């Protein structure tokens, strides 16, 4: 096929469209919001709600394969789309990542380490969860959380009532607080014929709940690096996954603990644009159209810096810096907390 349908028109959809275009494919974006960043790049954009099944049907008819840049696609829309065109990555990956309770259960059943967790729906189940897990702990909404939104930290059991109130009735999960030394993520890809390629893990630093920098190489031993690749391969293979996935990990003396998985290209994989011959966006496009995967080898040390809100007001320093790429997403308004672009700096 030659037209790739992408659900979601944010910066990830935009960079996927750029990569697809470079390989001679055309992209068609489906996005409810007006003026999506990907709309500047993709050949076609459908602006419609996920409830508009006629629009979804027309979109599916116009494309050869469907992929996505975010995991919270409504189930009814997926039910319809999957009868019309292949969706890659498939439903199993979305089921495993849309709900933190399902996600952690899936990871544990695979034999991977997660934070201790328990389902929370009311004050009684929260008390039981605290009794089982202890404090400190983090209460998170099961669905729709990102950039640290929908989370409340409990220093002690006394914080329970306030934390529960902040969930506003949404189903939640309590997680034991993991005492990690640092956070890393591994970006991995699996092709249509089952081959797996992993990028070198990156080390992630967050600021105000939002990814601030990713640096490669991460501080990891050779065996930790191997563990990261093996566990990513296990996750992808068990889901019969096709495409790129981001796997967030906590590094602890007891080994790597999986925090969450994202069934898509990932902000912590943007460094691959400057560090690898085939970046995560091209890799994802290759996977979903059934091309051979590219080489995941890293040829440089890189630091990726996110440009959030007003960080884009003055970029002269970055623009003049050597061995530095500036990526801007074409968003009109630089609101606080909004991801406006990123900078990849080759180190050394």
Partner whose footprint covers residue 74, from Mg ion, ligand ATP, none (CB < 5 to 8 Å by kind) = none
Residue 72 CB, shortest distance to ligand ATP, in Å, is 11
CA 68 to the chain's CA centroid: 11
Q: Residue 65 Cβ, how far from ligand ATP at the closest point, in Å?
A: 25
Does 206 appear as a known binding residue?
A: yes
The nearer residue to ligand ATP, 61 or 146, going by C-beta atoms, is: 146
In the complex, the smallest distance separating the C-beta of residue 147 from ligand ATP, rounded to whole angstroms, is 4
H/E run at residue 183: strand 182-190
Geometric angle at alpha carbon 93, from 99 and 190, rounded to 5°:
145
Burial of 315 (0-12, 13-18, 19+ CB in 10 A): middle
Q: Which is nearer to ligand ATP, 69 or 248 (CB)?
A: 248
The response to whether 273 counts as a known ligand-binding position is: no
What gap in Å lies between CA 46 and CA 69, rounded to an integer? 15
| Shortest Å, Cβ 149 to ligand ATP | 6
Asked if residue 146 belongs to a known ligand binding site, the reply is yes
Smallest distance, Å, CB 144 to Mg ion?
A: 10
Query: Of 335, 60, 239, 286, which Cα lies nearest the Cα of 73?
Result: 60
Q: Which does 273 bind (CB under 5 to 8 A by kind): Mg ion, ligand ATP, none?
A: none
Position of tokens 């030394």? Answer: 181
Stretch near Mg ion under the rule CB under 5 A, chosen from 190-198, 199-207, 242-250, 301-309: 242-250
Determine if residue 151 is labeled as part of a ligand binding site. Answer: yes
Interface contacts to ligand ATP, rule CB under 6 A: 115, 138, 145-149, 175, 177-178, 183, 206, 248, 259-260
Give the number of other Cβ atoms within 10 Å of residue 96's Cβ: 23
Q: How far is CA 341 from CA 57, 226, 244, in A?
A: 33, 31, 21
Q: What gap in Å lies between CA 171 and CA 199, rounded to an integer?
A: 34
| Nearer CB in complex with Mg ion: 142/327 | 142
Q: Which does 292 bind (CB under 5 to 8 A by kind): Mg ion, ligand ATP, none?
A: none
99 is in an annotated binding site: no
- The site partner of 177 among ligand ATP, Mg ion, none (C-beta below 5 to 8 Å per kind) is ligand ATP
State the alpha helices, DSSP H only, in the chain.
11-22, 53-62, 75-84, 91-97, 100-109, 123-133, 160-166, 222-238, 272-275, 280-289, 316-320
Distance, CA of 182 to CA of 249 (rounded, Å): 9
- Binding-site residues for ATP, in ranges, read 100, 140, 145-151, 175-178, 183, 206, 259-260
- Binding-site residues, in ranges, read 100, 140, 145-151, 175-178, 183, 206, 259-260
Residues of this chain that bind Mg ion (CB under 5 A): 248, 260
């Amino acid at each position: 096929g030659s037209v790739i349908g992408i659900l979601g028109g944010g910066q990830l959809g935009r960079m996927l469209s750029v990569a697809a275009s470079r390989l001679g494919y055309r992209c068609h974006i489906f996005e409810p919001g007006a003026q999506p960043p990907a709309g500047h790049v993709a050949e076609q954009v459908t602006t419609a709600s996920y409830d508009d099944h006629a629009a979804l049907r027309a979109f599916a008819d116009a494309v050869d394969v469907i992929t996505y840049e975010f995991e919270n696609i409504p189930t009814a829309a997926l039910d319809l789309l999957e009868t019309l065109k292949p969706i890659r990555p498939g439903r199993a990956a979305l089921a495993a990542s849309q709900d933190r309770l399902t996600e952690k259960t899936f990871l544990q059943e695979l034999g991977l380490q997660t934070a201790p967790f328990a389902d929370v729906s009311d004050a009684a189940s929260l008390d039981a969860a605290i009794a089982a897990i202890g404090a400190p702990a983090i209460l998170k909404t099961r669905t729709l959380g990102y950039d640290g939104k929908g989370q409340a930290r409990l220093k002690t059991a006394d914080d329970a009532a306030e934390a529960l109130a902040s969930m506003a009735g949404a189903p939640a999960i309590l997680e034991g607080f993991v005492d990690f030394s640092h956070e890393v993520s591994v970006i991995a890809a699996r092709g249509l014929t089952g081959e797996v390629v992993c990028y070198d893990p990156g080390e992630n630093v967050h600021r105000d709940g939002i990814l601030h920098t990713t640096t490669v190489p991460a501080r990891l031993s050779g065996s930790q690096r191997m563990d990261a690749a093996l566990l990513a391969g296990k996750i992808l293979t068990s889901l019969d996954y096709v495409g790129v996935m981001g796997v967030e990990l906590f590094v602890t003396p007891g080994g790597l603990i999986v925090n969450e998985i994202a069934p898509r290209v990932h902000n912590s994989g943007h460094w691959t644009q400057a560090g690898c011959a085939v970046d995560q966006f091209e890799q994802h496009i290759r996977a979903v159209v059934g091309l051979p995967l590219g080489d995941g080898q890293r040829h440089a040390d890189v630091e990726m810096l996110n440009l959030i809100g007003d960080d884009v007001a003055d970029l002269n320093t970055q623009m003049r810096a050597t061995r530095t790429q500036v990526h801007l997403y074409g968003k009109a308004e630089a609101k606080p907390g909004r991801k406006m672009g990123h900078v990849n700096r080759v180190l050394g």
